[in-house]
Amino acid sequence: MPNFCTTCGASGIGEARFCTTCGASSAETPNASQGQSRLEDDLGLTPAQDVLQNAGSTVKRVTKRRWFMYAGAAGAAALALGGGMLISARAASNNPPPDGGATSVPTAPSTSESTSVPAPASPTSASGPTATPKPTPAGPTLTEQVQGKALNALLDQTAPARQLVTSALASIDNCTATSSTYTDLYQAITVRNSVLTQLASLQLSELPNSGKLRDALQSAESASLLADQHYLTWSQNASYGCSGQAIHDSEYAAASLAGQDAVTAKANFVALWNPVALSLHLPARTSLDL
């Protein structure tokens, strides 16, 4: 039996009953001499030429088969890839990313470094909006300072008068008064009158509560002056036959009553004056200083 198909010319069929290329039965294959004569008669080819031509046809058929196989594999891969992408898209639409659906694309780190200067802290407090700063109060004017110093100088004159009266009353009450004791009382009365005279013409219009300041000081000095005058009359009455302790008569009682009014008026004046003195950097006063 020949080793090639006499129908299509495929070689290498061996003892197979059918040709693997064209499927012709090898049993129907004529003997070699008959096949050779048929090929020569039909195609005008010698056996060798026929073998070469059949071999080329076989290569072409195999090449076409492989091309169809490759094309089919490529199509299957494309279908698989498209199906995977479709499934992924459906899964992404059903399960959006936690950040609201935006897909972050990693970017390459910048090679240039920029130095950022932090902005200054806001004055806004964590508990609320920043409070508007209060305007700084203006200092005292020159006129206020002049008037305040003038009133302070007037107050300096009252303290010695009180000391003179206090010392004189102790001597008179113990019956140890001398001529100088009465002189001290006269001098205190003179000081009180002088203070009241100066106060009447003193300019205080630029001071806070100027009217109340003037009235309170005038009441205090007037009550003190009245008390000193009653004490002077009492001292004259007590000087006659004084032994051990002077008698407290009606003049003494009137002096004590006027002294109580003076204490109240002095307290009112001090309450008005000390805040003004503080703003003008002047000394504060007490009732014992008037």
Mean pLDDT across 175-188: 92
Looking at the 3D structure of the chain, how many domains does it have? Answer: 2
Do 188 and 90 reside in the same domain of the chain?
no
Q: Looking at the predicted structure, is the pLDDT value of residue 239 above 60?
A: yes
pLDDT at 5: 77
User: Is 42 a domain residue?
Assistant: yes
Question: Looking at the structure, do residues 156 and 82 belong to the same domain, yes or no?
Answer: no
Residue 164 has pLDDT above 80, yes or no: yes
Same domain, 149 and 253: yes
User: Same domain for 148 and 223?
Assistant: yes
**Which helix (DSSP H) or strand (DSSP E) does residue 203 occupy?**
none
Last residue of a domain, one of 77, 95, 113: 95
pLDDT at residue 11, rounded to an integer: 75
Give the Cβ contact number of residue 10 at 10 Å: 20
Q: What is the pLDDT of residue 62?
A: 42
**pTM exceeds 0.85 for this model:** no
Asked whether residue 76 falls in the same domain as residue 177, the answer is: no
Calpha distance 51→4 (Å, rounded): 9
pLDDT level of residue 187 (50, 70, 90 thresholds) = very high
Instruction: Provide the residue range defining the domain that includes 51.
Output: 1-95
Residues 198-210 have a mean pLDDT of 95
Question: Does 125 reside within a domain?
Answer: no
**Max CA separation in the chain (angstroms):** 197
Is pLDDT of 285 > 50? Answer: yes
| Per-residue pLDDT at 136 | 63
The pLDDT value recorded for residue 169 is: 94
One domain, residues 226 and 284:
yes
Is residue 23 domain-shared with residue 154, that is, in the same domain? no
Residue 248 included in any domain: yes
How far apart CA 57 and CA 63 sit, in angstroms, is 10
**Residue-level pLDDT at 243:** 86
Average pLDDT of the residues in 67-94: 55
Q: Are residues 164 and 52 in the same domain?
A: no
Mapped to the 3 state alphabet, what secondary structure does 30-77 carry? CCHHHHHHHHHHHHCCCHHHHHHHHHHHHHHHHHHHHHHHHHHHHHHH
Q: What are phi and psi of 25, to 5 degrees?
A: -75, 135
Q: What is the pLDDT of residue 84?
A: 55
Same domain, 241 and 157: yes
* 269, pLDDT greater than 90: yes
Would you say residue 91 has pLDDT above 70? no
Asked whether the predicted pLDDT for residue 221 surpasses 60, the reply is yes
The residue assigned the tokens 């056996």 is 47
Q: Are residues 150 and 69 in the same domain?
A: no
Distance CA 144, CA 221 (A): 23
Q: Which of 37, 66, 95 is where one domain is finished?
A: 95
pLDDT for 127 equals 57
Q: Of 46-55, 103-112, 219-228, where does the model show the most confidence?
A: 219-228
* 54 belongs to a structural domain: yes
At 125-151, the pLDDT tens digits run: 555 556 676 666 667 899 999 999 999
Is residue 49 domain-resident?
Answer: yes
Mean pLDDT, residues 230-259 taken together: 92
Average pLDDT along the chain: 76
Q: Is residue 110 part of a domain?
A: no
Residues 147 and 241 occupy one common structural domain: yes
CB atoms within 10 A of CB 288: 12
Closest to 188 (Cα-Cα) out of 171, 163, 210, 212: 163
Residue 117 maps to a domain = no
**149 and 90 in a common domain:** no
pLDDT in tens, 18-59: 777 777 776 544 444 444 444 444 445 444 444 445 444 444
